[in-house]
């Protein structure tokens, strides 16, 4: 594993750090304290700086990696080319399907913002999933949410023009800001362009073009100047733009 560890090496940190990190994930609340305590006791806790390569495409997972804080870029690669597939934000598990099925990672993972990781030996996690029903349901929900995010991304790319993709992306950001208050782009423009599956040049031209629909971009600052015009042109769809929650199945929800 191509893991870049920060100035602070945490391999000998007490299990309390790992246990506290696991406790931050709402979708692990159905897992017993005993199981989470056991996983934490087997875990390594790392703080990893931005820019570190976490694992490579085609690598067989040695660890199950829980992202407790920060964010990670998942990148498809071909030779020297990279394409941003998704940005994973805490709390989440990184590509659990590869871990559970003992299959190669399909993507490269690189730390975007300094991350806190809880790492459990892959074989240890597989044994735990087999023995613990609640943990199995939690990971099933995690994989389901990841799959649904990718379906939404595919719909966004295939059903919307470049202008619509950019406009809807900026409107989603605007939902977290006050009206007419500038907001800062959360990523470099090249990363946003890659995530929206367009070139950096197309993204820049599109930013200039959407000004006529009430969205102004100056550098990395975005202002929604005409909310009505922007929403009329760029209509958000919950089946594309909605947040995908990780929500494990419970016995109560499974009952008719």
Q: Is residue 62 part of a domain?
A: yes
127/189 same-domain check: no
Helix ranges restricted to H, 116-237: 122-131, 133-159, 162-174, 189-195, 200-209, 227-233
Question: Is residue 186 very low, low, confident or very high in pLDDT (cuts 50, 70, 90)?
Answer: confident
Domain at 20, CATH number: 2.60.120.10
What CATH number does the domain containing 231 carry? 1.10.10.10
**133, 157, 181: which is the final residue of a domain?**
157
Question: Of 46-50, 79-83, 158-162, which range is least confident?
Answer: 79-83
Give the residue-averaged pLDDT of 207-212. Answer: 92
**Mean pLDDT to the nearest integer, 204-232:** 91
Residue 7 has pLDDT above 70, yes or no: no
Domain carrying residue 63 = 15-157
Give percent helix, percent strand, percent coil of the chain, each to the nearest 5: 45, 25, 35
55 and 139, same domain (yes or no): yes
- The verdict on 180 and 122 lying in the same domain is no
Establish if 7 belongs to a structural domain. Answer: no
When pLDDT is cut at 50, 70 and 90, the band that residue 1 belongs to is low
Question: Which run of H or of E encompasses 120?
Answer: strand 108-121
Q: How far apart are CA 113 and CA 7, in angstroms?
A: 15
Please name every residue paired with 117 in a beta bridge, in sequence order, or none if there are none: 46, 67
Please tell me the least confidently modeled range out of 82-96, 112-126, 172-186: 172-186
**DSSP sequence for 218-256:** ETTEEEES-HHHHHHHS---HHHHS--------HHHH--
- Judged against a pLDDT cut of 90, whether residue 176 lies above it is answered with no
Q: Is the same domain home to 125 and 177?
A: no
Distant-in-sequence, close-in-space partners of 219: CB < 8 Å, separation ≥ 6: none
**Strands 81-89 and 221-224, sheet pairing:** unpaired
Looking at the fold, whether 203 and 103 belong to one and the same domain comes out as no
Determine, yes or no, domain membership for 92.
yes
The pLDDT tens digits for 84-97 are: 999 999 999 999 99
Last residue of one domain, picked from the residues 95, 122, 157: 157
Please report the pLDDT score of residue 4 as a whole number: 44
State the Cα angle at 144 between 138 and 146, rounded to 5°. 105
**What is the share, in percent, of the chain residues with pLDDT greater than 90?**
75
Whether residue 142 sits in one domain with residue 189:
no
CA dihedral sign, ordered 102, 85, 186, 241: negative
Which pLDDT band, with edges at 50, 70 and 90, does 256 fall under? low
CA distances from 251 to 25, 40, 134, 171 (A): 20, 26, 10, 38
pTM, 2 dp? 0.85
Does residue 25 lie within any of the structural domains?
A: yes
Confidence at 129, pLDDT banded by 50, 70, 90 = very high
Dihedral sign for Cα 240, 137, 47, 123, please: negative
CA distance 120 to 22: 11
Whether 128 and 177 share a structural domain:
no
Q: Has residue 8 been placed in a domain?
A: no
Query: Do both 56 and 172 map to the same domain?
Result: no
Report the number of distinct structural domains present in the chain: 2
Q: Is the pLDDT of residue 33 over 50?
A: yes
15 phi, psi to nearest 5 deg:
-55, -15
The residue among 110, 126, 157 that closes a domain is: 157
Confidence of residue 9 (pLDDT cuts 50, 70, 90): very low
Q: Are residue 151 and residue 170 in the same domain, yes or no?
A: no
What region does 247 belong to: left with phi over 0, alpha with psi -120 to 50, or beta? beta
Same domain? For 96 and 177 the reply is no
User: Strand 92-93 to strand 63-78: parallel, antiparallel, or no bridges (unpaired)?
Assistant: antiparallel
Residues 20 and 138 in one domain: yes
């Amino acid at each position: 594993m191509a893991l870049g560890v920060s100035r602070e090496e945490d391999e000998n940190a007490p299990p309390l750090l790992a246990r506290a990190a696991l406790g931050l994930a709402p979708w692990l609340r159905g897992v017993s304290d005993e199981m989470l305590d056991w996983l934490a006791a087997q875990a390594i806790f790392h703080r990893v700086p931005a820019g570190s390569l976490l694992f490579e495409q085609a690598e067989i997972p040695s660890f199950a990696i829980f992202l407790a804080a920060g964010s990670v870029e998942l990148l498809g690669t071909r030779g020297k080319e990279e394409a941003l597939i998704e940005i994973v934000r805490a709390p989440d598990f990184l590509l659990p399907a590869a871990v559970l099925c003992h299959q190669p990672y399909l993507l490269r993972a690189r730390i975007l913002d300094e991350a806190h990781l809880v790492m459990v030996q892959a074989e240890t996690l597989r044994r735990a999933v087999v023995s613990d029903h609640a943990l199995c349901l939690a990971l099933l929900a995690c994989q389901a949410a990841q799959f649904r995010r990718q379906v939404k991304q595919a719909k966004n790319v295939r059903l919307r023009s470049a202008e619509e993709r950019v406009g809807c992306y900026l409107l989603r950001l605007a939902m977290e800001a006050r009206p007419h208050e500038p907001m800062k782009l959360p990523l470099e423009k090249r990363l946003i362009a890659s995530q929206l599956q367009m070139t950096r040049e197309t993204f820049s031209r599109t930013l200039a073009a959407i000004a006529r629909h009430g969205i102004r971009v100056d550098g990395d600052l975005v202002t929604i100047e005409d909310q009505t015009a922007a929403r009329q042109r760029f209509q958000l769809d919950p089946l594309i733009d909605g947040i995908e929650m990780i929500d494990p199945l419970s016995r109560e929800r499974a009952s008719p």
